[in-house]
A = this chain, B = another copy of it.
Amino acid sequence: MQLAGLDAASLKTVRVSVVDQLYATLRGAIIDNDLSPGARISETEIAQHYGVSRQPVREAFIKLANEGLLEIRPQRGTFVAKISRPAVMDARFVREAVEADIVKLLAQAPEPTLIADLRGHLVRQREIIGGSARDFMEADEAFHHTLAAGAGKENAWRVIVEMKAQMDRVRFLSSMHFSVARLVDQHTQLVDAIAAGDAVGAEQAIRSHLRGILQDLPIIEQEHPEYFR
Contact = CB atoms under 8 A, between A and B. Distances in A.
Contact of A62 (B62, B74, B90, B100): B62
Contacts of A156: 90, 93-94
A170 to B, nearest CB: 15
A74 B17 contact: yes
Contact of A97 (B66, B90, B91, B97): B97
B90 A154 contact: yes
Interface in A73-100: 74, 86-87, 89-91, 93-94, 96-98, 100
Contacts of A159: 94, 159, 163
Interface of A: 17, 55, 58-59, 62-63, 66, 74, 86-87, 89-91, 93-94, 96-98, 100-101, 153-156, 159, 163
21 contacts: A17-B74, A58-B59, A59-B59, A59-B62, A62-B63, A66-B66, A86-B154, A87-B155, A89-B155, A90-B153, A93-B98, A93-B156, A94-B94, A94-B98, A94-B159, A96-B101, A97-B97, A97-B98, A97-B101, A98-B98, A100-B101
